[in-house]
Chains A and B, each alone.
Chain A
Amino acid sequence: MNLNATLFAQFVVFFILAWFTMKFVWPPIVKALDERAKKVADGLAAADKAKTDLALAEKRVVEELRKARESATDVRATAEKQAAILIEEARTEAARIVAAARTAAEQEAGAAMQKAKEGLRDQVAQLAVVGAERILRKEINAEVHSDLLANLKQEL
């Protein structure tokens, strides 16, 4: 354990090695470490963001489903209402047509009855005249009594 010039040499070597480390060893390694730390931090942040996004998307899906269900219900209600209206309209129309047909038939029947009545009336008048003629062949002049006969016919 004697002291000699080795001490000074070692002093110099010490600084040269430290300088080398400072210049060529330390900065690249620390840079790589820092970059990796940043990458990891970024990755974690991205994962967090993705999680939030997923939750948002799920919420939106639920919302959209609800909307779709609602609008389907609306559509069905409208369709049912429209169908009811159509049925109602058809029913009204049918009733109207039936009524019209009945009225027309009744009118026709009335007219036919009138006609028949008149025909009958004529025939009865003629029969009456014929009867009267047969009864009063001689004394009654058809022409003289035609006014009378016409009045009679009118009264029937």
Chain B
Amino acid sequence: MATGHEVQAPTAGEYINHHLTHLNQTGHPQQNIVDWSLINIDTMFWSITIGVITLFFLWRAASKATSGVPGRFQAAVEIIVEMVADQAKGIVHSAESRKFVAPLALTVFVWIFMMNAMDLLPLDLLPTLFQLATGNSHAYMRIVPTADLNATLGMSIGVLTICLWYNIKIKGFGGWVHELFAAPFGDKWFLYPVNFMMQLIEFAAKTISHGMRLFGNMYAGELVFMLIALMGAAWGTAGVAGPLLFVGHVLAGSAWAIFHILIITLQAFIFMMLTLVYVGQAHESH
């Protein structure tokens, strides 16, 4: 390409940095670690779009559900619903709570699975289309919402909220506050500070690890796809070894994508199971 007009190809570092930057309303990368005035438009757009499409299909299956012989789509949805219902039944023992918690777990599982599955689309496809559509060849666009810590922490804090709600609902506010100070070491006045600290750490650890686990897996998965893409992109500059890099890209990309099918399903399942486990714990008194 000797037109003389092409943009200088980005270095590997620039390429990865660009791909790991979210599109917020300013169009510029976020400068501070925490900035509550910004919102990631790409994460919001993709998570809501995927959520709406997913729930639309689930809703269609539900509204046409028949107790007679089910169609294939209904049967597929039923398999997922049965799986979630069984897990919920085994972990959350209150039938009243399950009326909300089981659908919540189903939403979490299907929604997160679909968001994770965005990782399997060609890495540069949607961002490039977006750049072409906006005419800005430097526009940021990340299409995997679960590789955004804000999204996963938002969901895990949602789970924390539900846990606090059930703690208060089941044990009463007084009972819960008593538990905060009396568990896990015992109901002695001199143990109250230690107990309370332990409880705070427990809630924080649960919530942060819940969100971080999903984020970390998806972020790392995305990063590996970027590295594989870089390997393929280097084939023109590697001389004799170039074709080898190309073959390497195809092989490694296929292998990682196939392995990633396991990861996206597993991570969605783990997030759902932990949601159920944490809500189940909120029902148990120490």
Interface positions of A (Cβ within 8 A of B): 1-11, 13-15, 17-18, 20-22, 24-36, 39
Contacts and interface: CB of A to CB of B under 8 A. Distances in A.
A20 B104 CA distance: 9
Contact of B153 (A3, A27, A34): A3
Contacts of B149: 1-3
B39 interface: yes
The size class of the interface chain B forms with chain A is 35 or more
A148 to B, nearest CB: 139
A79 to B, nearest CB: 62
B227 interface: no
Given A18-B108, A20-B107, A24-B63, 19 more contacts: A4-B30, A6-B43, A6-B154, A7-B154, A10-B145, A11-B155, A13-B47, A13-B51, A14-B154, A14-B155, A17-B51, A17-B55, A26-B62, A28-B63, A29-B78, A31-B67, A32-B70, A33-B81, A36-B70
A26 B77 CA distance: 10
Contact of B81 (A7, A11, A22, A26): A26
Contacts of B32: 2
B43 A10 contact: yes
B70 to A, nearest CB: 8
Interface in B154-190: 154-155, 157-158, 161
Given A4-B34, A7-B153, A15-B158, A26 B102 contact: yes
Contacts of A24: 59, 62-63
A6 B150 contact: yes
13 contacts: A1-B149, A4-B40, A5-B38, A5-B39, A11-B155, A18-B103, A21-B107, A25-B58, A27-B62, A28-B62, A28-B63, A29-B81, A39-B68
B273 interface: no
Contacts of A27: 62
Contacts of B104: 18, 21-22
A25 B55 CA distance: 8
A34 to B, nearest CB: 8
B67 A35 contact: yes
A128 to B, nearest CB: 133
Interface of B: 22, 24, 30, 32-40, 43-44, 47-48, 51, 55, 58-59, 61-63, 65-68, 70, 74, 77-78, 81-82, 85, 99-100, 102-104, 106-108, 111, 145, 148-151, 153-155, 157-158, 161, 215, 219
A21 B154 CA distance: 18
B10 to A, nearest CB: 21
A14 B35 contact: no
A130 B74 CA distance: 147
A3, A29, A30, most chain B CB atoms within 10 A: A29
A97 B76 CA distance: 101
Contact of B66 (A2, A18, A32): A32
B103 A22 contact: yes
B24 A4 contact: yes
Given A21-B104, A26-B106, A31-B65, A3 B154 contact: no
Given A1-B219, A25-B58, A9 B39 contact: yes
A2 B33 CA distance: 5
Nearest to B54: A17
A5 B37 contact: yes
B101 to A, nearest CB: 9
A39 to B, nearest CB: 6
A7 B103 contact: no
B67 A3 contact: no
A49 B93 CA distance: 35
